[in-house]
Amino acid sequence: MNINSKRSFLVIAVFAVVGLIFIISLFRLQVLDSEYKQFATNNVLREVVQYPARGLVYDRNGKLLVYNKTAYDLLITPREVGKFDTTLFCNLLQISKSDLEAGIQKTKKYSRYKPSTLIKQISPEMFAVLQEQLYKFEGFHTQSRTLREYSSTAAAHALGYVGEVTGADLKKDEYYKSGDYIGISGIEKTYEKQLRGVKGVKKNLVDVHNRIQGSYRNGSEDVPAQIGKNITSTLDLELQLYAEQLFRNKKGSVVAIEPSTGEVLAMVSAPTYDPGLLVGRVRGANYAALLSDTLKPLFNRSLQAKYPPGSTFKPINTLIGLQEQVINLNTRFACYGKGSSPIRCTHDHVSPANVVDAIRESCNPFLWNTFRSILYNYKTSAEGFNVWRNYVESFGIGKNLSSDFANGLKGDLPPESLFNRIYGEGHWNAMTVRSLAIGQGELGVTPLQMANYGAVLANRGYYFSPHIIKGIEDDTISQSFKTRVNSLIDKTHFEPIIEGMQQVTMGSMAASIKIDSIDFCGKTGTVENPHGSDHSVFVAFAPKENPQIAIFVYVEYGVWGSRYAAPMASLMMEKYLTRSISKRRKYTEKRMMDANVLNPNQPK
């Protein structure tokens, strides 16, 4: 056989083999494979996203805070939609025809060939009725998802809520698709990746009437969803509920921390709201109502309000004075004469006062002279101010304290540059910024920062970053939460300050704040308010030795620190430490719960 004949034979053989392969494939597809026979009889393959249940959230004692309930979305593929009874459809879903038409037009703009969500978050009850009639509506099908449910109305701001993804979310993370849900605030946002789980896919065969005929390939190509991880928070549900009761008809915040760990025991921003309002199809209307509420219940005062701390800030300035050795335990400043100006005492007390007296009596001249001495201990006021500022910052003030609070603010700890801009470099001194001596002026702190400051006092000089997560299922929390952060103040300087704070709780207001058999330490504050009644403030920790709770309470328009903030803080500490309130204090408890302090012009 010559070369040309061999080549011709080879070409013919190749074509014969290829042809045979095609014939066998067609025979298998059209005759032997029942799967394709099903397609030939008007069956269609549909991929349905399997949304995982979000992880559950518990309190520190294992009590359930957040769980899930089933809901359904109705999807539409515009190309497949035929004529249908719109009246029946609207009645089943309790929507208007105009809303239906608008929704269909919107999905057509997205895609005529791909399914997209038409009606979201259908209740199980409505779904049961709809499912029986769904075969009448060609081009429509449903998919299940879960919605959040709450065991109580507590801790709305701390827990946060879930909402639909935005365009920015879609660009940031390819995991999400249009119509997905994501944590918007609180724990739901900070721990979104742990809570959300992983989506799966289920492939179904459906007939021309939209009815499921079975799984594709017996489910062999299905990808199961992976449920989210459960989270144990640091919150104490009983304490949280109690705090929210105390804050009824009040504006302000309370944050309580376990000093030895930095775990947040309670976090209340008042007025608050029922977290269940931001779940389901009514979420949009409820959110709009909450957003327009003049009391701003959505505003998280615990993390975002920048309050002047007032006299609760005085222990810091005294500690800095002791550390800088511009005062000592024998130093005394009088409340009269040249040294008492320009910041005078607002009430009578022993004078001249020493360190312990100054804390107990909240002596303004003592703090003014201490603050001035700190700044004038250096070549320039600016240099002294920066030294003072570094000390303050070491207490966690003026910075973000923790990665656990996504929406937390740094507050306002003014830098030198602010005063240089206002007054000119070299043209300001201690007298110019004297309000900082008593926790007023340009200083703005968040309740979380001040509760952490209370923990620093309780620990005699250090803290652990405040956090709201105690444990994550099959995971670990950030090691930074276990790292001790030291202030710049030596431990020895704290004892006289703590002695003064204990004497505060044993003074004239002891009847309303005393806790039986428990010594505790606190500092009141009455914050000046040019827009109405002054604010009531209190920082404290208990017991005095081996403290288990540090707390900061801020009641807007509360007039004096001893009027509302101090009694409320002591009640919370008693509730946490003893799990009850003594009969002796039931009158104080009722008075705090019944008080309405929403009026900015409270009588003094």
What residues contact 96, with CB distance under 8 A and at least 6 apart?
90
Three-state SS sequence of 496-558? HHHHHHHHHHCCCCHHHHCECCECCEEEEEEECCCCCCCEEEEEEEECCCCCCEEEEEEECCC
Dump pLDDT digits (tens) for 515-547.
999 999 999 999 988 888 999 999 999 999 999
Query: Cβ of 585: how many Cβ atoms within 10 Å?
Result: 20
Query: Cβ of 329: how many Cβ atoms within 10 Å?
Result: 11
**Rounded average pLDDT over 269-276:** 96
Question: Is the dihedral angle over the CA atoms 509, 511, 515, 516 positive or is it negative?
Answer: positive
Summarize the chain as % helix, strand, coil (round to 5): 40, 20, 40
C-alpha 184, offset from chain centre: 9
- Amino acid, single-letter form, for residue 125: E
pLDDT for 41 equals 38
Cα distances (Å, whole numbers) of residue 28 to 22, 23, 25, 31, 35: 10, 9, 5, 6, 11
Query: At residue 1, does pLDDT exceed 60?
Result: no
How much is the CA Rg of the chain, to the nearest whole Å?
Answer: 33
Q: Distance between CA 598 and CA 595 in Å, rounded?
A: 9
Dump pLDDT digits (tens) for 120-130.
888 888 899 99
pLDDT for 82 equals 84
pLDDT for 39 equals 45
Residue 373 phi, psi dihedral angles, 5° rounding: -65, -35
By mean pLDDT, which of 49-58, 334-343, 478-487 is the weakest?
Answer: 334-343
Query: At residue 43, does pLDDT exceed 60?
Result: no
**Rounded average pLDDT over 416-421:** 96
The H or E element containing residue 402 is none
> In this predicted model, which residue has the larger pLDDT, 341 or 194?
194
By mean pLDDT, which of 76-80, 194-198, 252-256, 553-557 is the weakest?
Answer: 76-80
Query: At residue 292, does pLDDT exceed 80?
Result: yes
Q: Distance between CA 138 and CA 435 in Å, rounded?
A: 72
Cα distances (Å, whole numbers) of residue 156 to 188, 264, 266: 11, 15, 12
Domain 237-594 has CATH 3.40.50.620: no
Torsion of CA 468, 473, 478, 483, to 10 degrees: 80
- Complete DSSP assignment for 212-223: EEEEGGGGTT-B
Spatial contact of 368 and 374, defined as CB atoms under 8 Å apart: no
pLDDT for 40 equals 44
**Six-digit token string for 248:** 């009824």
Query: At residue 366, does pLDDT exceed 80?
Result: yes
% residues pLDDT > 70 (the chain): 92
**Six-digit token string for 163:** 């909402």
Dump pLDDT digits (tens) for 452-494.
999 999 999 999 999 999 999 999 999 999 999 999 999 999 9
Query: At residue 37, does pLDDT exceed 60?
Result: no
> In this predicted model, which residue has the larger pLDDT, 34 or 321?
321
**Rounded average pLDDT over 123-150:** 88
Q: Distance between CA 369 and CA 593 in Å, rounded?
A: 40
Q: How many CA atoms lie within 13 A of 263 on its CB side?
A: 17
Spatial contact of 230 and 223, defined as CB atoms under 8 Å apart: no
- Banded pLDDT at 208 (limits 50, 70, 90): low
Look up the CATH superfamily of 46-233.
Penicillin-binding protein 2a (Domain 2) (3.90.1310.10)
**Rounded average pLDDT over 271-294:** 92
Q: Distance between CA 358 and CA 341 in Å, rounded?
A: 16
Mean of pLDDT over the chain: 89
